[in-house]
Chain A
Amino acid sequence: MKQKQSLKNIVPWSADGHLNRVVKAMPPSGIRKFFDLVSEMEGAISLGVGEPDFVTPWHVREACIYSLESGNTHYTSNKGMPELREVICDSVRSDLGLDYNPSEQILITTGVSEAVDLAFRATLNPGDEAIVPEPCYVAYAPDIVLSGGVARAVPTRLEEEFRLRPEDVSAAVTNKSRVLLLSYPNNPTGAIMTRSDLEELADVVVENDLLVVSDEVYAKLTYSGSHASFAQLEGMQERTVILNGLSKSHAMTGWRIGYALGDPDLVGAMTKIHQYTMLCAPTMAQVAALEAMQKGDEEMVHMRHEYNLRRRMFVSGLNRIGLDCFEPKGAFYAFPSVRSWGLSSEEFAERLLKEQKVAVVPGNVFGQSGEGFLRCSYATSREELIEALDRMEIFLSGL
């Protein structure tokens, strides 16, 4: 009997041929290269970490452990635990003076990252444009592209303390513009937008009928005055979807808890996608988030105070050794300029790492307008910051 020949040997398998074109064309994050370099190095001080160095406060961890012991391991409502939604809406009312209905205007997400993704997916049609101020967090543009949209970068500048200017937004607007992304306090620059800075953007937003997606994950880490949200401006609450979470404010990055607040239809659309993809944010993390929102203010204030001490010390240190740095008023990043040292961001960062074992992230990773700058996170111990400054000074003296 003749054996049937298997097609396996004739048609070779290639995963590559099965990949989505958009995903294939997407470049990997520019941070990867540095990650690999630093990982292999002994004794390096990393100022490249975009998360708190504090461990989640014990009472929050303990609440989660107790909840697990009680067998609280089931799904929650798609939107998230009702008590958590309520306590977040209460805190937003007291922080921003804005009312959101906990039953239809808030969605608990798996980290703010998911909320960013959902906001774009729920609002962009193929070819729609989203305006993204740069330098910015690395995920916005890829999320927009994955949603079928087009990311249109708008530069922000040192001369303006990296605040977004209305004329730059106007220049980027086309008849396909649908969304304006705001991300203040900003990663990587540490810039904030005051209420009056935001007021200046309102006209261009309304004229062009834009939806504002406002990532405010660093809101609690504002060191000058209190945080202002675009949604607080008159008539702008409906036009704005606020994205926030507990990662930075309560040192809860690994828990992955974020939330979106906005118009019921918009949050409803985001909830639909969330329902079919994530189902719900992890229950144990939601329980921890509830504890943090209810009883975590004291630690949050303590951590902010510590960041503020380091911020003053580190930024004045950078300026003292010759790395010009404007005063970052939010988040936990300093964004010094290296322009006067005759090296590109990447050359500077690579040599600093190899010669003095200090890891920073080159600014161009966060968009073209970040070229000439370095992102230095001061979410690391005072001792390490002082040591890093010493090493950077030695590095500069050899240039």
Chain B
Amino acid sequence: MNEILEILSENAKATPAEIAALIGRPEAAVASEIQELEDSGVIRKYITLINWEKLDKSYVFAVLELKVALQRKTGYDAVAERIANFSEVESVRLISGDHDLSVTVRGESMKDIAYFVAEKIAPLEGVQSTCTHFILKSYKEHGVFLTDKPKPQRLVITP
């Protein structure tokens, strides 16, 4: 796997100089490879993983399971992309199993999301059924624990 991407996937703030020191390559070479990865669209965006639940006022998230009629020529793509256009939608994935699309949405309240699904998603041509699951608590996101756990302690000096 690409070492630079591995490091950036763990820490978007890692600078070319820091990455260069970790992998033992010149800083300029690392910087230009990152530029290429950005230009070619491999790196899409540098984002921050936030535990919204720590805030007094948080967002509400839901996972929608959609059954979608397969369309001639465009398959699932046309419907998936129409859904993805909504700013409330965080992710759209084609999945195997009982349903076709798994969609994550973010809203200010449960009501917000319920209306959004009823008004914008359910009526879409091709969407046969929707099932909305509100997320009650998130334990781990992108490989990171969101729950506060005490750090295991090591002795400060050992031989």
Q: Chain A residues in contact with chain B, CB under 8 A?
A: 29, 31, 34-35, 38-39, 44, 46, 48-51, 53, 55, 137-139, 187, 309-310, 312-313, 316-317, 359, 361, 365, 382, 386
Distance in Å from the Cβ of B1 to the closest Cβ of chain A?
A: 10
- Taking the complex as formed, is B40 at the interface, i.e. its CB lies under 8 A from any CB of chain A? no
Q: Are A316 and B21 in contact (CB under 8 A)?
A: yes
Residues from chain A with Cβ under 8 Å of B155 in the complex: 35, 49
Q: Are B154 and A31 in contact (CB under 8 A)?
A: no
Q: Are A310 and B22 in contact (CB under 8 A)?
A: yes
Which residue of chain A has the shortest Cβ distance to B159 in the bound complex?
Answer: A138
Residues from chain B with Cβ under 8 Å of A53 in the complex: 154
Q: Tell me how many residues of B have a C-beta within 8 Å of chain A.
A: 13
Give Cα A313–Cα B22 distance, bound, in whole angstroms: 5
Q: Are A34 and B154 in contact (CB under 8 A)?
A: no
Distance in Å from the Cβ of A51 to the closest Cβ of chain B?
A: 6
Distance in Å from the Cβ of B80 to the closest Cβ of chain A?
A: 33
Distance in Å from the Cβ of A380 to the closest Cβ of chain B?
A: 9
Q: Are A35 and B157 in contact (CB under 8 A)?
A: yes
- Taking the complex as formed, is B112 at the interface, i.e. its CB lies under 8 A from any CB of chain A? no
Give Cα A187–Cα B158 distance, bound, in whole angstroms: 12
Distance in Å from the Cβ of B82 to the closest Cβ of chain A?
A: 40
Give Cα A138–Cα B158 distance, bound, in whole angstroms: 10
Q: Which of A48, A309, A313 contacts B157 (CB 8 A)?
A: A48
Q: Are A359 and B157 in contact (CB under 8 A)?
A: yes
Which 9 A-B pairs rank lowest in CB-CB distance, beginning with the nearest?
A48-B157, A313-B21, A309-B22, A35-B157, A38-B156, A312-B24, A50-B158, A138-B159, A313-B22
Residues from chain B with Cβ under 8 Å of A310 in the complex: 22
- Taking the complex as formed, is B23 at the interface, i.e. its CB lies under 8 A from any CB of chain A? yes
Q: Are B21 and A51 in contact (CB under 8 A)?
A: no
Residues from chain A with Cβ under 8 Å of B156 in the complex: 35, 38-39, 44, 46, 48-49, 359
Distance in Å from the Cβ of A326 to the closest Cβ of chain B?
A: 15
Question: Mask for B22-57, Cβ within 8 A of A = 1, else 0?
Answer: 111000000000000000000000000000000000
Q: Which of B21, B23, B157 contacts A49 (CB 8 A)?
A: B157
- Taking the complex as formed, is B18 at the interface, i.e. its CB lies under 8 A from any CB of chain A? yes
Give Cα A310–Cα B19 distance, bound, in whole angstroms: 10
Question: Mask for B70-112, Cβ within 8 A of A = 1, else 0?
Answer: 0000000000000000000000000000000000000000000
Question: Mask for B137-159, Cβ within 8 A of A = 1, else 0?
Answer: 00000000000000010111111
Q: Are A361 and B21 in contact (CB under 8 A)?
A: no
Chain A CB within 10 Å, residue with most, of B18, B152, B154: B154
Q: Are A312 and B23 in contact (CB under 8 A)?
A: yes
Give Cα A38–Cα B154 distance, bound, in whole angstroms: 13
Give Cα A222–Cα B119 distance, bound, in whole angstroms: 60
Q: Are A31 and B23 in contact (CB under 8 A)?
A: no
Residues from chain B with Cβ under 8 Å of A38 in the complex: 156-157
Residues from chain A with Cβ under 8 Å of B21 in the complex: 312-313, 316-317
Residues from chain B with Cβ under 8 Å of A29 in the complex: 159
24 A-B pairs within 8 Å (CB atoms) are namely: A31-B157, A31-B159, A34-B157, A35-B155, A35-B156, A35-B157, A38-B157, A44-B156, A46-B156, A46-B157, A48-B157, A49-B154, A49-B157, A49-B158, A50-B158, A51-B154, A53-B154, A137-B159, A309-B7, A309-B22, A312-B23, A313-B21, A361-B157, A365-B159
Distance in Å from the Cβ of B30 to the closest Cβ of chain A?
A: 13
Distance in Å from the Cβ of B78 to the closest Cβ of chain A?
A: 40
Give Cα A253–Cα B116 distance, bound, in whole angstroms: 53
Which residue of chain B has the shortest Cβ distance to A310 in the bound complex?
Answer: B22
Give Cα A316–Cα B17 distance, bound, in whole angstroms: 12
Q: Are B22 and A50 in contact (CB under 8 A)?
A: no
4 further interface pairs, Cβ-Cβ under 8 Å (given A38-B157, A51-B154): A35-B157, A48-B156, A313-B18, A313-B21
Which residue of chain B has the shortest Cβ distance to A377 in the bound complex?
Answer: B158
Residues from chain B with Cβ under 8 Å of A316 in the complex: 21, 24
Which residue of chain B has the shortest Cβ distance to A309 in the bound complex?
Answer: B22
Which residue of chain B has the shortest Cβ distance to A188 in the bound complex?
Answer: B159
Distance in Å from the Cβ of B13 to the closest Cβ of chain A?
A: 11
Which residue of chain B has the shortest Cβ distance to A46 in the bound complex?
Answer: B156
Q: Which of B18, B22, B23, B158 contacts A51 (CB 8 A)?
A: B158
Distance in Å from the Cβ of A345 to the closest Cβ of chain B?
A: 14
Q: Are A48 and B22 in contact (CB under 8 A)?
A: no
Residues from chain A with Cβ under 8 Å of B152 in the complex: 55
Distance in Å from the Cβ of A273 to the closest Cβ of chain B?
A: 23
Which residue of chain B has the shortest Cβ distance to A386 in the bound complex?
Answer: B18
